[in-house]
Amino acid sequence: MDHLLAEAPGRSLAYHAGRHASLQWRAFVAALARTLYDNAEDGDADAFLREVGTNMARALPLPQVATLEELEAAMNAKWADLDWGWVRLREGTGDVGIVHGATPTGFAEDTGGTWGRASVPLLEGLYTEWFAAQQGPSHLAVSLVGERAEPLHLRYGR
């Protein structure tokens, strides 16, 4: 049984991750992402999704906070309400590192992973707006660091 017990955390994580996105919306979200990238240039689809993220952030306003710790807590409170995972923030040199895990992606209906891809510009737009609403207009934006992975590694900076 030792093997079964040792592999259990990975099995449980995969179990939860594959069921995390509400069944009610998986088919819609997967079809939406596929239709979007089939119809538009990749850059246009990404830009559209960033704007959806901006609008989501405006519909989910955060309180004004004083510290990065409070900002992380405010973001996690919103994510907990929606069940969209968790975030950690870390001050860098001239930027802020963002690690976002347990996004509702990775379900079987998303054949090809198009929604997984779409979630990146969506979250870029959303976090950019959340930071902008704290700090006022700037030239800073949130963008992916490296390749898309679970968790996502993003940064807010130039």
Interface positions with its own copies (CB under 8 A): 1, 4-5, 8-9, 11-13, 15-17, 19-25, 27-32, 34-35, 39, 48, 51-53, 55-56, 59-60, 81-86, 88, 90, 92, 97, 99, 101-102, 104, 109, 122, 145, 150-151, 153
Q: State the Cα–Cα distance between residues 107 and 52, nearest whole angstrom.
A: 21
What is the closest distance, in whole angstroms, from the C-beta atom of residue 25 to its own copies in the complex?
4
Residue with token string 């001050």: 91
CB nearer its own copies, residue 12 or residue 135: 12
CB nearer its own copies, residue 70 or residue 109: 109
CB nearer its own copies, residue 64 or residue 112: 112
CB nearer its own copies, residue 53 or residue 116: 53
Q: Give CA angle at 120 (116, 124), nearest 5°.
A: 160
What is the closest distance, in whole angstroms, from the C-beta atom of residue 137 to its own copies in the complex?
20
What is the closest distance, in whole angstroms, from the C-beta atom of residue 14 to its own copies in the complex?
9
